[in-house]
Each structure stands twice: as structure tokens, then as C-alpha cells.
Structure 1
């Protein structure tokens, strides 16, 4: 009789855990820095004498430049290493966040937010590939889920420090705290190693000088386009809930305290969902897990708007389940995207498609508000979430990214493990 297999976590070395810690902290602090500005838009609008709508474009600005960071810092990561690119990205977005606190007018703040977006996207591209290539393939769904949970943790951290810091130092103090991620680079420099998968490709000198341009070739453009479509639909699915749900709850009679509590519970649902998605993905497969849980999320989305008046406890449970499924399953997307690219252009491919698709997150409040004027805010959130969830299921269910490999798969073996 063969000996029982050891638990998955005992099959990981210390270096595997260092890779997770460095990448996870990068994502946590990325989420922390990104969410900061959403708490102080009113203060910024007042100080710089602009409308709240104009101040809201600062959020869109961060989305608008993310594709640049994904494309070019991702290319840097493909050519010179995941760790080096990750250090550069963290330094870029942390110092740019600090400079936001020194902004002298609205347009200087806008420029600094554009730079923040570039750095954040670069960290996503480099950090995701570093972790996924470092961990054994059989547990990479867990790695992906753990990684994305950092973003939710960053949002919870921002919520925790917002009140005491703004009360003591004003809105600028919140951005000064944003320099903290720079300290992470010390740990990355000395505690995290380059993944062997990338080093092997680099030793063979396979990486193009600017891998982003390879994505525009006839071989890779169809793959990148299909994955971009998936990520656009994904952000269009999740961001109406993230950006418009607090406003909807207030419109139905919940005060600010109750709304904050409900959204905190919902965020916990996302956090636990990210963790659970990794275990499910390793058990039944990445693609199957994505399809099943996305379909299940539609049930909870419909339920949430049906129980709005049923009491805060019932609504809290429903919101928890919405984010546990709808957001939680997106923890598998870094793994799903990375599987479609060779190591020599994986960082730029993953970074570009994910962050270009994230533009939908910036647009969601706009088209959500427009649709709300016709059918009401609650119905608008539900319709947008359901429509784009079905779009995600269609892309993954029909396996469009893998089909798009077509000629690429025929000319050269490509790692696709769904």
C-alpha cells in the first residue's frame, strides 16, 4: 500500500511561501492605495473647488493608464525578471501616492493618479507571474486565489485607517501613508527569488526585447483580444456592485453606519471567496470552477434585490454570498490568463489584457447611472451584473481564448491547462 500523499501545504518550500508573501503584500498595498481616493473625493472636490463628478474622474484616471503599466512594465518583467519589475512597480505607485498628498491643484493630483495607475498595473503583471511561476502547477489555482485576496485585504485596511488618519491629518495624510508600500521592496529584494520557469526561458535568451509588441502579432493578437474581452466583461460584472451598491443601500433607507457595516460584510465575502476559489479550481479545474460559480452568482444577485426590505441580517447574508461568488471566483483569473501565454511574454500578456479590461471598471458607474435613470438604480445594478456575467460565462464556456490560439498552438506548443 502506498503512503498517503502529504497535505498540499507540506509540499511547498520556504521559498514558495516567500513568493506568496511578497506578491500578496504587493497586491494588498495595491488595493490599499487604490481605494484611498474613493474615501476623500468629497474633500478633494471642496478644496480644489471642482464638482464631485469632476473629482470622480480621478478614479477613472487610475484605470486609464493601467494598460500602459501592464504592457511596458510587463515587458520589462519578461525581459529582465519578475522580481526587478515588481520592485520598480511598487516604488513607482507608492511614491506617486505620496505625491498625491503634496498636490497643489486638481490637475497636479490628476497627473499623480495617472502615474499611480501605471505602477499598480506593473505590480499586477510582475507579482502575478512571479507567484504563479514559482508555485508547483498542481496548486497554482490556490496561489492565484490567495494572491487576489490581497486586494480585498487592502480595501479592508483602507477602511480601518481612513477615519483616524483623516480626522488627525486631513485627506492629504491618507496619501502620505501610501508611501508605506516602498518598505515592501526591501523584503522582495532579499526574501524573494526569481521563478525557475522564467530563468530557464531567460537563459535560453527567448524573451523579445519588448514582449508587448509580440502580443500585436498575428500569432498572439487573437488570444489577447479574447482575454481582453473576458476581462472587460469581468470588470463590468463586478464594479457595478462595488461602486454603486453603497448608493443603492442609502437610497433604500439604510443610514451611513448600516451601509458601511453591510459593505464590510460583503467585502469579507469576497475575501473568503478568493481563498475558496483556489481550492475549488485545483479540485475540479480552473475553467469548470469559473463557469459553475459565475452561474451560481446570478442566483444570489437576484436574491439580494429581492430581500432589500427583509432586514439587515438577511441582506448582509445575501451580500456576503454575492461577493463570495461573483467577486471571489475572479481569484482564478490570473491563473486562467497566465495559462494562455508562454513565459517569454506572460507578464506583458497577463498585465495588458487584465488592465486594459479594467477600463470597464471606470465606466461602470457612468453607464450604471445612465441606466438607473430609466429603470431605477437597483434594477440597473442587477441587469448590468447579470448581462456581463453571462458574457463571461460565454467566453469561458465556449473556450474562446483557447480556440483563438489556433495557429499559435499549431506552430509551437503552448501551456494551456484549464
Structure 2
């Protein structure tokens, strides 16, 4: 019998790796908070600026479209100038323009600020994902991305709390003003977070003239094009379902019953959302641990398939008690799969184009999925939000099929 003692996984993690995790996780949590503040106060913004559901959904679509552009741009910035610099700049951008949303006097002004906010939102994910996947070892990479992705649920819940506390006191404008807070995190990241060693080595070994050029076109070379295509299409399916559902859930909970909503007051809506996001947090973390244990493919299929089954039941139930019970399970499976994207995309692309590949695939999907809030808003005007949610199960089912037929298993792959 071996006397070798099993060391807990967290004791194998270095100080540098923990710093990278905190930097990427805090940036992602505050990204979620700033982006989702809009959804939390949407009912009040619609009343004040005279917006209908279709217009409100279109503004959410604008943010997602610009985030797709931002993700691709910041991916190239991260490959050329570094992961931490790209992360810092993206956080500053989304916090500044969230703050400026509070000054909007017209729908057009709000749309412009939301459009510019999206650039930073898209950039934060790709910079943070590259930083984590290159800093953490293969056997713990899934856990690391799960922990980082779980920060989105914390930020989503924090947005609900901020709106619940500030909105009754200073209105929806005060809620947006709070969005400047993440800028302070950007300053800390600039001082306390190092670039991954693998990126530093790549920059040192590569000829500046050769490697300093943007690498976007290399994603379409014969060597990696199949992964570019698969990553992009999978991202479309996964994100269409998520953004169509979670953009509108706060409005659904807070809208009057006669308008197809659940009729909850602001404190109940906040409570329901916080409880729901506790399920999302567990989903993000669980995905990471499962992906490192049983593989990326099996975990993806499990989460996508169960999301496809649960979402229609959630949409058909207008009863507050059932919404409270089902909410955490819907969020667990309907959000948790995002933890797999950073690790899998990192394992499909080489270092010199890794952030560009992650940024393109993830944000191409986000760009197409940006239509989801508008589609759901349009459908809601005739059949109601709950019924419109059921339509989204198709995208989750398609994602499960894509993984089953086309995604290779990359568990344990060392990056190079």
C-alpha cells in the first residue's frame, strides 16, 4: 500500500495563479453587474423613456452586438500587448459607459452609451479567459474557468441587490451611476497581475515583425478553421438561449400579471433573482469540476440537454412559488455551461492566436445571439414572455447535438 499523501487540489495552486483568478473573476463579476443593471431597472426605464418591449429588447441587442466586436478587437489586443493590459482597458470601458447611461435623456442617448459599454463587456471575457487558461495547469483548468465564470452569477445577483437598494432612493439613473465602481478594479489589475509565462515566452521567442501582426486571418487557415467554425456555431446556440432568457427574466418577474408577467414587487423580484443566481453560481463551479473529472464533452451535453428540458417548464409556470423552485435549476443548467468555453477554446488554438481564437468564436456567437432579446421581446408582444421563453429550448438542444457529433475531448491537453 502506498504511503503517499493525497494533496488537495487547491494546495497545488501558486500565488501567481490565485492572483490571475481573482483579477479575471472580479472583472467578470463586475462586468455582469454593469451589464445586467439594465435588465434590473428596465421596467422603470421603459416607463420613463416611453419604450416598448421591442425597443427595450433592441437596446439589449445593441449591447451584445458591440460586445461581439469588442471581444474580437480585445482578443487581438491581448495577443499583441498582453492579457492583463487588455483586461484592464476593457473593465475601464464598460464601467465608464455604464456610468454615463445615467445621464441619458432619450432612447437614442441610452442606445449610444449601451453600444459603447458593450465593447468593454466583450473584451473582458476574452482577456480574462486567456489569462486564466494560460496561467493554470491542464488538470485544474476546468476548475479555474468554472470559478471565474461563477463570478458572473455573483455579479448578476449583485446587480439585483444594487437595483433593489438604490432604485427606490435615487431612481434608475442612480443605479447606472453606481456602475463606475469597477474602474477601481482596473487600477488594481494593472499593478498586481502578471502576464502568463507562456505568453511572455511566445513574445520573447517570436520575431516582433512576424508575431506583432494581427492574427485574425489565421483562424481561417486549414490548420484551425474547423475549430473556428465549430466554436463559433456552438457559441451561437449556447448564447442565443442564455441572452434570450436571462435578459428578460427580471422584467418577466416584475411585470403585472395582466401583461403576462409574474406580478412580483421589486423586493420579491430581487429575492427571486438572487436565489436563482445562487443556482447559476453552483452550475458554473460544478461544470468546471465535472469537466476536469469526466471530460468536457459529457459535461456540455448534460448541461445543454437539461437546460432544453427545463426552460419550457419555467416559461409555462406563472406561479411565483414554482418560479422560485424552478429558478435555481434553470440557472444551474442554463448558465453553467459557459464555464466550458474558455477551457475548450484554449485547448483548440495555439498560443500565438489563442486569445484571438477565443475572442472570435465566443463573440461571433454573442453577435448572432444578440438578436435573441429582440426576438423574445417581439414574440412577447403577441404571446407573452413566458411562452416566448419556451422557444429558446431549441437553441440549447442544438448545442447538445453539436457537442455530441463534432466536439473532440480535450481533457488534460497541455497548452503550447
- TM-score, length-scaled by structure 1: 0.87
CA shift in 2, pair 1:128/1:190, >3 Å: same
Distance of 1:347 and 1:11 partners within structure 2: 25
How far has the Cα of 1:236 moved from its partner? 1.9
Question: How many residues are aligned here?
Answer: 402
1:334 aligns with 2:342: yes
Q: Cα RMSD between the aligned structures? A: 2.7
How far has the Cα of 1:392 moved from its partner? 0.7
Secondary structure at the counterpart of residue 333 of structure 2: helix
1:395 aligns with 2:396: no
Greater shift in the superposed pair: 99-108 or 247-256 = 247-256
Alignment check: 8 A CA contact 1:89 1:122 kept: yes
Residue in structure 2 matched with residue 167 of structure 1 by the alignment: 168
How far has the Cα of 1:157 moved from its partner? 0.8
Alignment check: 8 A CA contact 1:42 1:52 kept: no
Q: Which runs of 5+ in 2 are unaligned?
A: none
How far has the Cα of 1:75 moved from its partner? 0.4
Alignment check: 8 A CA contact 1:224 1:349 kept: yes
Distance of 2:352 and 2:298 partners within structure 1: 27
Residue in structure 1 matched with residue 392 of structure 2 by the alignment: 384
> 1:345-384 residue pairs with structure 2 within 5 A?
345-369=353-377, 377-384=385-392
Secondary structure at the counterpart of residue 6 of structure 1: coil
Q: Which runs of 5+ in 1 are unaligned?
A: 404-414
Alignment check: 8 A CA contact 2:66 2:367 kept: no
User: Deviation string for 1:309-363 (max 9, x for gaps)?
Assistant: 5x71x54332221221221232222212221111111112111211221235432
CA shift in 2, pair 1:173/1:393, >3 Å: same
Q: Indicate which of 200, 211, 225 corresponds to 2:215.
A: 211
User: Deviation string for 1:240-280 (max 9, x for gaps)?
Assistant: 33234456566477431355443332221111111111111
User: Deviation string for 1:117-168 (max 9, x for gaps)?
Assistant: 1111111111111011111110000111111111111111111111332333
Greater shift in the superposed pair: 147-156 or 290-299 = 290-299
How far has the Cα of 1:221 moved from its partner? 3.7
Distance of 1:374 and 1:97 partners within structure 2: 31
Distance of 1:145 and 1:336 partners within structure 2: 12
Residue in structure 2 matched with residue 96 of structure 1 by the alignment: 97
Greater shift in the superposed pair: 241-250 or 148-157 = 241-250
> 1:227-306 residue pairs with structure 2 within 5 A?
227-245=231-249, 251=257, 254-257=262-265, 258-301=268-311, 304=314
> 1:312-331 residue pairs with structure 2 within 5 A?
312=321, 314-331=322-339
How far has the Cα of 1:294 moved from its partner? 2.3
Distance of 1:52 and 1:317 partners within structure 2: 27
Secondary structure at the counterpart of residue 141 of structure 1: helix
Distance of 1:254 and 1:47 partners within structure 2: 21
- TM-score, length-scaled by structure 2: 0.87
Alignment check: 8 A CA contact 1:269 1:328 kept: no
Alignment check: 8 A CA contact 2:288 2:340 kept: yes
Residue in structure 1 matched with residue 124 of structure 2 by the alignment: 123
